[in-house]
Amino acid sequence: MTPPTTNMPTNDQVRARISGSALQRAFDYFAVQEPDRTDFRAAAQRIHDDADMCAQVAEIVARLWDGMGRLLAWKQPELPAAFDPQDRAAQVEARFFYPVAFAATLPDTLAFHRTRAIPDSASRAILADVGRHLRVFERTFGRTGLHVQDWFSLHFRGLIYDFGRLQANLERLDAPADQLRAAEAPVVTGSVVAGVHIPDSGPLRPDAVDAALAGIRPFFARHFPELPAISTAHCMSWLLDEQLIDMVPGSNIARFCARWRPIGPATDGDASVRDFVFRRPYADPADLTASSRLERAILAHWQAGGHMRSRSGWLKLPGAVPS
Ligand SMILES: CC(C)(COP(=O)(O)OP(=O)(O)OC[C@H]1O[C@@H](n2cnc3c(N)ncnc32)[C@H](O)[C@@H]1OP(=O)(O)O)[C@@H](O)C(=O)NCCC(=O)NCCS
């Protein structure tokens, strides 16, 4: 456990942030739908009434506050798991511990956004990712909850924003120098780049991707003017596996994949694909069935002894000065 910090709210402050109109405001910013809203509210009430859980929420608020706007390594600050997503007996206050903690952090995140002149519409657009992930959790596990708290550390520390079809965060590139040189990337280890993410929000049409990429550089230049201009985007995803170009030829996925120059060796992507494509992260591939071209191609690939990969890659953002 980290020592208490000066930014630790009291239990009464936590209670005020997770009840009444403050909770309703969090639902609005997070775009929480039913049945998540009912369970979120039940969890907030239980945590409100339990001094130990209020103190645990206060600890999370303090960690996120301390990391506000800071480009920390991935999975920093540490946000320990509140429950095992495979545990069907996990109680609502565990499944919604982090959504409640994020509601308690919301005033700090919005205050940070305002210091950066981020418009309210942009705050709402990125924080609606909470509601989206609550829906994804139910699709995946058949009940409500949230288990990707590390991902949301970017949102609640004011580092990630919504660009329409893509999201992008400020990221310090940690790829080794030799890999960046081999990839002819115009950046060095430690450069600040835009980390690109693809939300589960419908088709990945190339024109929508173009529009999203075009917005990234001016946004960060306007709201984070002290940083060097962000000229390079970085992405780490199963969507950058070049095998996809032949597996789903001519598709949005194939065209997205082809935009990126690979950095370093590929890593195992089977688990990512079980999660992001089949939404069955713990399933035995033999139990999966296909209902789309992509799924049929992946199952055939696995049956033939192949593996899917995750890849890291870079591209030059539109408007970037040639190196
Ligand atoms: C990335 C994503 C938006 C692409 O969707 P898309 O634009 O509809 O994809 P394409 O048009 O290229 O699809 C080609 C084929 O694959 C299928 N397909 C694409 N993504 C699929 C997915 N996640 N699950 C199952 N099938 C999928 C399509 O239905 C289509 O098959 P069809 O011709 O039989 O209809 C989609 O996969 C998605 O929402 N993924 C979840 C988010 C994600 O993976 N983010 C990256 C995390 S690292």
Distance, CA 201 to ligand 1 centroid (Å)? 10
151 lines ligand 1 (CB under 6 A): no
Confidence of residue 7 (pLDDT cuts 50, 70, 90): confident
Distance, CA 276 to ligand 1 centroid (Å)? 9
CA distances (Å), 268 to each of 195, 208, 255, 311, in order? 20, 29, 21, 9
Query: For residue 194, is pLDDT > 50?
Result: yes
Write out pLDDT tens, residues 281-292: 999 999 999 999
Partners of residue 49 on adjacent β-strands: none
295 lines ligand 1 (CB under 6 A): yes
For atom 23 of ligand 1, the residue with the nearest CA is 277
Candidates 129, 204, 289: which one to mutate for ligand 1, based on the most atoms within 8 Å of Cβ?
204
253 lines ligand 1 (CB under 6 A): yes
Q: Which residue has the tokens 């009444």?
A: 20
Answer yes or no: CATH 3.40.30.10 is held by domain 163-323: no
Candidates 246, 294, 298, 310: which one to mutate for ligand 1, based on the most atoms within 8 Å of Cβ?
294
275 lines ligand 1 (CB under 6 A): no
Give me 228's structure tokens: 């060097």
Contact 262, 183 (CB under 8 A): yes
Distance, CA 245 to ligand 1 centroid (Å)? 13
Give me 204's structure tokens: 């990945």
Query: For residue 5, is pLDDT > 80?
Result: no
Q: Decide: residue 232, CB within 10 A, 0-12 exposed, 13-18 middle, 19+ buried.
A: buried
Please tell me the predicted confidence (pLDDT) of residue 321.
58
Partners of residue 235 on adjacent β-strands: 313
181 lines ligand 1 (CB under 6 A): no
Mark 291-302 as b/e (b = at least 16 C-beta within 10 Å).
eeebbebbbebb
Write out pLDDT tens, residues 199-219: 999 999 999 999 999 999 999
277 lines ligand 1 (CB under 6 A): yes
Q: Report helix, strand or coil for 161.
A: strand
Write out pLDDT tens, residues 235-271: 999 999 999 999 999 999 999 999 999 999 999 999 9
Write out pLDDT tens, residues 54-100: 999 999 999 999 999 999 887 788 899 999 999 999 999 999 999 99
pTM of the model: 0.95
Q: What is the DSSP letter of 227?
A: S
118 lines ligand 1 (CB under 6 A): no
Candidates 148, 277, 299, 312: which one to mutate for ligand 1, based on the most atoms within 8 Å of Cβ?
277
Distance, CA 203 to ligand 1 centroid (Å)? 7
294 lines ligand 1 (CB under 6 A): yes
Please tell me the predicted confidence (pLDDT) of residue 3.
42
Query: For residue 273, is pLDDT > 50?
Result: yes
How many residues are recorded in the chain?
323
Q: Where in the chain is the domain with CATH 3.40.630.120?
A: 163-323
Write out pLDDT tens, residues 104-131: 999 999 999 999 999 999 999 999 999 9
Confidence of residue 1 (pLDDT cuts 50, 70, 90): very low
